[in-house]
Amino acid sequence: MKTRLTLTVGAAAVLLFSRCAVNPVTGKKEVILVSEGQEVAMGAQSDPAVTAQFGLYSDPKMQKFIDEKGQKMAAISHRSSLKYQFKVVDSPVINAFAVPGGYVYFTRGIMAHFNNEAQFAGVLGHEIGHVTARHSARQQTKAILGQVGLMGAMILSPQVAQFGDQAMQGMQLLFLKFGRDDERQSDELGVQYSSKIGYDASQMADFFQTLSREQAKSGKEAIPDFLSTHPNPEDRYNTVKQLAEQWKQANGNPKLAVNRDQYLRLIDGMVYGEDPKQGFVENSVFYHPELKIRFPVPTGWKHQNTPQQFQMADPAGKALLILMTAPGASLDEAAQAIAKQLSLQAAEAPRRTTINGFPALAFVADQVQQDQQTGQQVAGVRVLGHIIQDGKTLYALLGVTAPADFPTYAPQFSGVAEAFQRLSEPNKLNRQPERVRIVKLKLRSNLSKALTTNGVPEKRLEEMAILNGMQLNEQVNAGSLIKVVGK
């Protein structure tokens, strides 16, 4: 969870009339419901929400690097007149995404996983391609803004899952899914654009393999744009390799750059994985050093920390506990705002209380939902909520379950709320993240041995091999650079 209050990304553009426009990439006429002006407005409107949600990764030299390369590529793209913005956001997830109007974002997670400038440039070209070919604009037109409730897969009760999705609605825009044809076209544009600014585009194909390995390892945790709609990564790998070779031959076989060492020097010291300052769980307790709060996670419950909120789900998939910040200047205002946002109706009068010194308001409320098939109103979920005030910050801790299960789960919901307290342990407050460290090898050996020599434990060898884009048995020369992670 981030310290900032998260805004809902305002992607719901009102589409009033359709028009015909020439696609900048294909040159063909097509029906587009969003004008360029509307695209730019969408991007400008979403950008503060995206940056508020993740925060910008604070490293001026890296922000400068991606802006320089981005502007250079934008200038040779099919839509050079747009005003582009390129940003690295503070998220460990491996992803890059574009928002209409020329806004392109990279996570620090993906930046840590590139192994040279050419890989970065290929992905940059792919994302710029979504903008120039107006994929996002068309995507908006189709209005397929699939919601990704991150805990959704483990929640069995559809009503509870629906509540979780509603509470997560700000995530929508970031997980825009493009069709397979759009992805293919963006790959082509990625090859073209990155080659044009002097990079070896075949490196992009190698990065697909990093993504495949990462996804195989972490399951759905990593949801990169690149893999979302490609059931066959092998195919895509081969296609990009071929396109890169064709481009070279058609353009007089120029010498193209990879720039491995320069890139690795750029990311030396970069934060790797979860940053504990944004919250972490240890021995069934959630700690948030920036917010200076802590509370227990019920035994055996799964949990997920996102920039917007911290969610916990019981193993049976019947109950959810959500902590998020709430808008408003007082307990009452916050309670009303949350009730409005989630369509809650009070089942009992709210009760003022104090939780370990914090003023609080406890309430029980129901959310009436519509049956997806019949459209009729049905009893949805019952919520045991606590609004907790810490100075100017207001939190909502919401326990959610079906009305029939409420008596079973209510004591657990209360137990968590009552144990909410100030975090004061220095060893939790000062917990440091891991960082990427670039080391120069003294001897030639295989990667596995090189990693072990540099202090990587056995159980993290495969993870480090993926991070380095290599196999563990691959030979690495004396004098070459590799990535390890450490504090």
> Which part of the chain contacts Zn ion (CB under 5 A), choosing from 166-174, 184-192, 261-269, 469-477?
184-192
Q: Which two tokens stand for residue 26?
A: 């294909």
> Does 225 interact with Zn ion (rule: CB under 5 A)?
yes
Closest approach of Cβ 147 to Zn ion, in Å?
Answer: 19
Closest CA to 70 of 108, 121, 119: 121
C-alpha angle 415-418-423 in degrees, rounded to nearest 5: 115
Closest approach of Cβ 97 to Zn ion, in Å?
Answer: 8
Closest approach of Cβ 143 to Zn ion, in Å?
Answer: 19
Which residues are CB-neighbours of 399 under 8 A, at least 6 positions away? 319, 320, 321, 383, 384, 385, 409, 410, 412, 413, 414, 416, 417
Closest approach of Cβ 185 to Zn ion, in Å?
Answer: 9
Closest approach of Cβ 126 to Zn ion, in Å?
Answer: 6
Asked if 388 and 418 touch (Cβ cutoff 8 Å), the reply is no
> Which part of the chain contacts Zn ion (CB under 5 A), choosing from 15-23, 71-79, 180-188, 260-268?
180-188
Decide whether 188 or 225 has the Cβ nearer to Zn ion: 225
Closest approach of Cβ 58 to Zn ion, in Å?
Answer: 27
Decide whether 122 or 380 has the Cβ nearer to Zn ion: 122
Q: What is the 3-state secondary structure (H, E, C) of 175-211?
A: HCCCCHHHHHHHHHHHHHHHHHCCECCHHHHHHHHHH
Binding-residue total with Zn ion (CB under 5 A): 3
Decide whether 226 or 395 has the Cβ nearer to Zn ion: 226
Half-sphere exposure of 301 (CA within 13 A, CB side): 27
> Which part of the chain contacts Zn ion (CB under 5 A), choosing from 51-59, 99-107, 218-226, 280-288?
218-226
> Which part of the chain contacts Zn ion (CB under 5 A), choosing from 138-146, 181-189, 305-313, 379-387?
181-189
> Does 187 interact with Zn ion (rule: CB under 5 A)?
no
Asked if 173 and 12 touch (Cβ cutoff 8 Å), the reply is no
Dihedral sign for Cα 108, 114, 118, 124, please.
negative
> Which part of the chain contacts Zn ion (CB under 5 A), choosing from 12-20, 117-125, 222-230, 329-337?
222-230
Residue 246 main-chain phi, psi, to 5 deg: -60, -45
Asked if 292 and 429 touch (Cβ cutoff 8 Å), the reply is yes
Query: How far is residue 210's CA from residue 205's CA, in Å, rounded to a whole number?
Result: 9
Query: How far is residue 273's CA from residue 92's CA, in Å, rounded to a whole number?
Result: 5
x/- mask, Zn ion, residues 401-440, rule CB under 5 A, reads ----------------------------------------
Decide whether 187 or 314 has the Cβ nearer to Zn ion: 187
x/- mask, Zn ion, residues 36-55, rule CB under 5 A, reads --------------------
Decide whether 210 or 389 has the Cβ nearer to Zn ion: 210
Dihedral sign for Cα 217, 220, 221, 227, please.
positive
> Which part of the chain contacts Zn ion (CB under 5 A), choosing from 74-82, 179-187, 290-298, 361-369?
179-187
Decide whether 183 or 200 has the Cβ nearer to Zn ion: 183
Catalogue the E-assigned strands of 118-189. Answer: none
Query: How far is residue 2's CA from residue 394's CA, in Å, rounded to a whole number?
Result: 13
Query: How far is residue 165's CA from residue 13's CA, in Å, rounded to a whole number?
Result: 20
> Which part of the chain contacts Zn ion (CB under 5 A), choosing from 80-88, 151-159, 175-183, 448-456?
175-183
Closest approach of Cβ 106 to Zn ion, in Å?
Answer: 13
> Does 206 interact with Zn ion (rule: CB under 5 A)?
no
Q: Which two tokens stand for residue 212?
A: 């495949």
Closest approach of Cβ 190 to Zn ion, in Å?
Answer: 9
Closest CA to 167 of 288, 304, 287, 282: 304
Decide whether 190 or 399 has the Cβ nearer to Zn ion: 190
Decide whether 168 or 176 has the Cβ nearer to Zn ion: 176
Using CB atoms, what's the residue nearest to Zn ion? 225
Residue 284: how many other CB atoms lie within 10 Å: 12
What 3-state DSSP class applies to 482? Answer: strand
- Binding residues (CB under 5 A) for Zn ion: these are 183, 186, 225
